[in-house]
Structure 1
């Protein structure tokens, strides 16, 4: 089993996540298609972050309309997502998880012919995400004019 930088017990995760976030992020569930707040969300800029640990995962510019019923991205922020073979449901798929906390995001599919730079579709549960308009990727907070972190 992979070890992630953010480690919490199931009880600690349950204390900070809603029951539905816990079911999807920690128990590898799936939200119903078309039900997520980010399915038809197309901002011009911003970052989609992990709802569990706040790690930056996807840029708004990576998002595209796939018609699948879940938010779709053609790429992630480099190093933000890990891929694992998923043999559940009688098929082989590629699961994607947050590289910082291991939270289940969804699955990635290749070769579907979408007119994107990667020909990949990261099919992500909205509930696994949190959107911020701030394009800052690092979780260090805003910096002042001298480059120092603000409190």
Structure 2
């Protein structure tokens, strides 16, 4: 150790605090209690609840789909079957509807916008009966320009 360290330790040994201050600090330190840890109790309760739940799920008689919870005789065992068996026969047949915009969509997909622009301009002048579908209207806004009323008459 160096000389200054020895001097420091000697001076530190001579320093003392008043007895009353030490007693006050000791009393306040005794008032502090450690925090009560209840996490171990909560984890034990959680584990026991999950074990009970797992046992109930495993032991319950209706754990599998289609399992019966009562003893049924052979004649009443499949009493629900005719209703489920004939559901396809009683369902209404699905009839596909023709798309009235198919020809126009095919033209737009091939890159021809003349018919689309003509129909869109007629719709803008409110001469058309049916409005364009959304995707055709968006395509018309991108590729067609609105002609003024004088340009369309001449």
**Higher Rg:** 2
Higher strand fraction (1 or 2) = 1
Give yes or no for TM over 0.5: no
Q: Which has the higher contact order (CA 8 A, sep 6+)?
A: 1
Q: TM-score when scaled to structure 1?
A: 0.16
Given the two structures, how large is their TM-score scaled by the length of structure 2? 0.15
